[in-house]
Amino acid sequence: MKALLICVTAMLFLGALWANPITPRALSRVWFDSAGDFNVSFGYDAGSYYLEYLPSMAFSTTAGTFNWPAGFVFPVSLPWAVNLSQTLPGFTINRTEDRFSVTDSLLYGGTWHEALSWGPQNDLSIDLHPLTEGQSAAQVFVQGMDTTIAVWAKDIGVSPYSNPSHLYTLNVHADAAGNPAPEVPIRYSFSSYLSTYFFPYYSDLNGNWSTSIYAARTRLMIHDPITQLAVVDTILFPEPDEVIQINAEVSSVGIDDPFLVATPGILMMYPSVLNSSSDNTLKLSYDGASSLSTGAEIHLYDLRGRKLLTASFPAKGKMEWNLPYLANGIYFISLTDTGKRISRQRLTVIR
């Protein structure tokens, strides 16, 4: 099972790269050691490309631009970690607030760079709050609206690989006039952009929603399902292993509100991943406290929240749904009954 998950993850990553020409990043991690020196690690996954360009790379901070010393001996393979404070002549960097970047003017015939900024601010002008003793910043790929994007996440310890081993937990509770508020739309993003068209997550019957994700700068937005106004729009700078609790107050939910869950239940789906050997058929079944009405429907949405397909869902609670050809990506299956949302599932397509 673990091997299958690794294979699926690799296929998703490669599919994103093929569809969108994003070159794997050169830097995997940065950190300050116990002496206050600044260290960087060039990742293994970039070894086949960036090793050739190491000698022509330049490094910049707010203090200036710094180059490798004459006669420096470069590694013959990656991953490779180097203490820039001890290696680059005159290298200066501020641990409290600064911007670090690596550039190369040879790539693609133009200027290419990777950058990381940190400081005490709580806005989109920085990527992270300052690294503390024992912390590192890892550069990772995450799913954006249309493609993967590279972001910086805090981690504990130093590893030659980008994947952080320490996440953070984000808990949301939605309340309406002192009562738990279900079906409140919740959106988050690791980038500066967060579209309201992006398919949201929702609070459960107890008004709760939770996830464990990379400790990267997170923009969180929670909308009132009645007024459609944002009751929470904030930027979080989480620490590794931190638990952040966000409480949202929304309008009282009326009994006829179409977003209210009509009948608690679970939509089960098989398979959850469609690949080249699949026949595009989903087996769907519903398990709830009471049966569905004849007005139940099943809907297919893309990652932007656009409805692509709708079909009637049998009151008996089981069906096979033959889907059209779908491009690689993430989709959502939503079950409704007389216009009220019942349950959702996530569908991944990998060709």
| Residue pLDDT, tens place only, 21-54 | 344 578 999 999 999 999 999 987 554 567 888 8
Domain boundary residue, one of 93, 128, 156: 156
Q: Write down the pLDDT at residue 202.
A: 86
Residue 5 belongs to a domain: no
CATH number at residue 184: 2.60.40.1120
Least confident of 46-60, 100-114, 306-320: 100-114
| Residue with the larger pLDDT of the pair 199 and 36 | 36
Same-domain pairing of 27 and 128: yes
CATH number at residue 295: 2.60.40.3580
Same-domain pairing of 84 and 173: no
In the chain, the percentage of residues whose pLDDT exceeds 90 is 46
Residue 163 binned pLDDT confidence (cut-offs 50, 70, 90): confident
Same-domain pairing of 23 and 150: yes
Same-domain pairing of 68 and 150: yes
Residue type, 66: F
Domain boundary residue, one of 134, 156, 178: 156
Q: What angle do CA 316, 321, 326 make, to 5 degrees?
A: 155
| pLDDT at residue 223 greater than cutoff 70 | yes
Residue 108 binned pLDDT confidence (cut-offs 50, 70, 90): low
The Cα–Cα gap between 293 and 315 comes to 5
Same-domain pairing of 208 and 117: no
Q: Write down the pLDDT at residue 209.
A: 94
Domain count, the chain: 3
The Cα–Cα gap between 277 and 111 comes to 42
H-run or E-run covering 85: helix 84-87
| pLDDT at residue 234 greater than cutoff 60 | yes
Least confident of 184-198, 224-238, 291-305: 184-198
| pLDDT at residue 74 greater than cutoff 60 | yes
Q: Write down the pLDDT at residue 109.
A: 57
| Residue pLDDT, tens place only, 269-280 | 988 888 877 788
The Cα–Cα gap between 285 and 272 comes to 13
Residue 144 binned pLDDT confidence (cut-offs 50, 70, 90): low
Average pLDDT of the chain is: 83
Domain boundary residue, one of 126, 156, 186: 156
Same-domain pairing of 133 and 223: no
Same-domain pairing of 141 and 188: no
Give the global pTM.
0.67
Residue 13 belongs to a domain: no
Same-domain pairing of 141 and 182: no
| pLDDT at residue 322 greater than cutoff 90 | yes
- Domain hosting 211: range is 167-249
Q: Which DSSP string do the residues of 4-63 spell out, in sequence order?
A: HHHHHHHHHHHHHHHHS--PPPSEEEEEE-TTS-EEEEE-GGGHHHHGGGGGG-EEEETT
| pLDDT at residue 133 greater than cutoff 80 | yes
Q: What is the mean pLDDT of residues 300-310?
A: 82
Same-domain pairing of 185 and 286: no
Q: Whats the size of the chain, residue-wise?
A: 351
Same-domain pairing of 234 and 281: no
